[in-house]
Chains A and B, each alone.
Chain A
């Protein structure tokens, strides 16, 4: 679903660099917040568990608010029933009971025990139009209440905005909290932080494959030159990529194309880094740039037809664009003498990048035609390595604003700055993962 996001640009009037918060520069005219009424789900489990039902409701509510799209209506204000009785064989909800109290969404649901585990089934209503938007069920073990509630919240966001919420996504990043630069993964609220590599080498540049079950990263784990490896969920050993590329040149910064069958990466031939693409095993190798200058940081457009990249062919690093076959190269950024780390928004409308301003770095947005170029995150310390949430409403980045580098997220309207990591070494190179189970 292609949605025109961010039609309206508002330039911040205040000197944004003076504030310890992002500059408010972009607003989405279609962005509005919705109000949700969450019924207490019916407990049809073999062994009723009121605490679990409460945890599920609270989990969905928290995740909805976390998404930045929904507010919750206090159950004490409900005119209609506070709990679901059943999803079938009962009259449909009285929509006016819900629209009258300002509710856009009504969510009903129930928990059932089936032979293979706990099932949570739910139904989303548009209370204003009195229309059923979605009915769905999730399976899991009773310990999966947190995961399921985040998935349900993301479904509710999708029903109202066309794009799933991001509360059930994960962020991969690099941390030296254990002494070496390793790949870590955490939930998007900073919880469940865990190491994904532990090879005590240097690891860098994690990037997700489209399905969300694989992460490509750059590592020196074999000694010699850096090359690409693949982490797969549930596997203890990383897989090799590009095995058919038979040379010893350094290879780094792999990124999957949107369909996941090709990689773009940087390969240095005689010390001159250029951008290549190939299949996962290195077959069908294609050289996109062949310039004596540095050509790095390939970033696919969401349709896979174009690529943003960084080149210092002008004498300083700048963001360029080209077709994914290397044709039609043109320079995109002209402000300042150091613009790097491009990241294409999921709707294709923007490229986020980092720009050196004075002695430090800020995050800017530029459209692919180069007509609008606006700051998103500015701070006296450095903000780097932007990565888009799959919902296109949020950006993750690394910042040294509190001293050591930590991972932060911020809404693309500049609001809701959140610090995800703290107290553990330097945390850099965030890569926001896709919505689980979607391609």
Chain B
């Protein structure tokens, strides 16, 4: 059997708001027990809550700090979204066609820098989908570089399965979510 010696209460000194009132002052008293006394106060089981202050950090309802204008601008320029097969990051023929079109757009506009945003459908490990989204964005980037777009014009990011363009849980929604979007960087 394991007995533990006196230890510090879990939440002591970490309280916030009302929790501070509950936790402060719960200092250990002398005690003849087998185990040292423990403070068990605070909200939640460990004493003290987790929580960010709710501040408007300017992200509003944009996706991960991206302004919606970048996506709109890419659309206005005629940069099209590239779609992928399930669990794949290799380009399909329609994807290569789309990218040749996008290359022609970018060739005319060497002044713009674009971000290629890799996305996945909701199935599978969200962590693997982060990585798969990266691979998709990389595949798009590499193809454009191969076609002749200067690498300095291109950046990539993955949103994994976290930013679906269509909600829903069937193949028609999934097919629209397995994609690389373009956004013009400010």
- CA A138 to CA B39, docked complex, whole Å: 6
Residue A76 lies at the interface, judged by CB distance under 8 Å to chain B: no
- CA A204 to CA B160, docked complex, whole Å: 10
- Do A212 and B10 have beta carbons less than 8 Å apart? yes
User: Shortest beta-carbon distance, B173 to chain A, in Å?
Assistant: 14
- CA A158 to CA B1, docked complex, whole Å: 8
Which residues of chain A come closer than 8 Å to B47, judged between CB atoms?
147, 233, 436
Most central of A158, A185, A266, A436 by chain B CB within 10 Å: A436
Per a CB cutoff under 8 Å, which of A238, A250, A356 touches B157?
A250
- CA A183 to CA B169, docked complex, whole Å: 23
Per a CB cutoff under 8 Å, which of A140, A168, A213 touches B22?
A140
Residue B81 lies at the interface, judged by CB distance under 8 Å to chain A: no
- CA A187 to CA B44, docked complex, whole Å: 7
Which residues of chain A come closer than 8 Å to B21, judged between CB atoms?
141
Per a CB cutoff under 8 Å, which of A136, A140, A296 touches B128?
A296
User: Shortest beta-carbon distance, A209 to chain B, in Å?
Assistant: 12
User: How many residues on the B side are at the interface (Cβ–Cβ under 8 A)?
Assistant: 73
- Do B158 and A138 have beta carbons less than 8 Å apart? no
Closest to A186 in B: B44
- Do B41 and A144 have beta carbons less than 8 Å apart? yes
- CA A234 to CA B47, docked complex, whole Å: 9
Given contacts A135-B33, A205-B127, A213-B11, contact A338 B87 (CB under 8 A): yes
Most central of A158, A192, A271, A354 by chain B CB within 10 Å: A271
Residue B73 lies at the interface, judged by CB distance under 8 Å to chain A: no
Q: How many residue pairs at the A-B interface have CB separations less than 8 Å?
A: 249
- Do B125 and A384 have beta carbons less than 8 Å apart? yes
Which residues of chain A come closer than 8 Å to B163, judged between CB atoms?
202
Stretch at the interface among A4-12, A218-226, A365-373, A406-414: A218-226
Given contacts A133-B1, A200-B59, contact A143 B22 (CB under 8 A): yes
Q: What are the interface flags for B30-66 relative to A under an 8 Å C-beta threshold, 1 for contact and 0 otherwise?
A: 0101110111111111111111111001011101111
Given contacts A139-B41, A140-B39, A162-B2, contact A250 B134 (CB under 8 A): yes
- Do A202 and B162 have beta carbons less than 8 Å apart? yes
- Do A202 and B63 have beta carbons less than 8 Å apart? yes
Given contacts A196-B52, A271-B138, contact A296 B130 (CB under 8 A): yes
- CA A170 to CA B45, docked complex, whole Å: 7
- Do A354 and B57 have beta carbons less than 8 Å apart? no
Given contacts A194-B49, A234-B49, A273-B131, contact A201 B65 (CB under 8 A): yes
- Do B25 and A221 have beta carbons less than 8 Å apart? no
- Do A238 and B52 have beta carbons less than 8 Å apart? yes
Given contacts A159-B1, A168-B45, A233-B46, contact A294 B132 (CB under 8 A): yes
- Do A234 and B48 have beta carbons less than 8 Å apart? yes
- Do B44 and A170 have beta carbons less than 8 Å apart? yes
- CA A223 to CA B172, docked complex, whole Å: 30
Per a CB cutoff under 8 Å, which of B43, B59, B134 touches A192?
B43
Closest to B157 in A: A225
- Do B33 and A136 have beta carbons less than 8 Å apart? yes
Stretch at the interface among A44-52, A114-122, A320-328: A114-122
Given contacts A135-B33, A197-B52, A436-B10, contact A294 B40 (CB under 8 A): no
- CA A340 to CA B141, docked complex, whole Å: 27
Within A381-439, the residues touching B (CB, 8 Å) are 382, 384-385, 400, 428-429, 433, 436-438
Per a CB cutoff under 8 Å, which of B41, B50, B51, B127 touches A141?
B41
- Do B40 and A234 have beta carbons less than 8 Å apart? no
Closest to A232 in B: B14
Residue A280 lies at the interface, judged by CB distance under 8 Å to chain B: no
User: Shortest beta-carbon distance, B119 to chain A, in Å?
Assistant: 12
Which residues of chain B come closer than 8 Å to A170, judged between CB atoms?
44-46
- Do B157 and A437 have beta carbons less than 8 Å apart? no
Q: What are the interface flags for A135-160 relative to B under an 8 Å C-beta threshold, 1 for contact and 0 otherwise?
A: 11111110110011011000000110
Residue A333 lies at the interface, judged by CB distance under 8 Å to chain B: no
- Do B157 and A294 have beta carbons less than 8 Å apart? no
User: Shortest beta-carbon distance, B165 to chain A, in Å?
Assistant: 14
Given pairs A194-B44, A359-B123, 10 additional interface contacts (CB within 8 A): A192-B44, A233-B46, A235-B14, A250-B158, A268-B134, A296-B127, A310-B125, A340-B125, A340-B128, A436-B46
A-B CB contact pairs (8 Å), 15 listed: A116-B26, A139-B26, A140-B41, A183-B50, A185-B50, A213-B11, A213-B46, A233-B48, A234-B11, A234-B16, A250-B130, A250-B157, A253-B130, A310-B127, A437-B7
Q: Which 8 A-B pairs have the closest CB atoms?
A: A223-B65, A271-B138, A220-B64, A233-B48, A340-B125, A234-B14, A196-B50, A436-B46
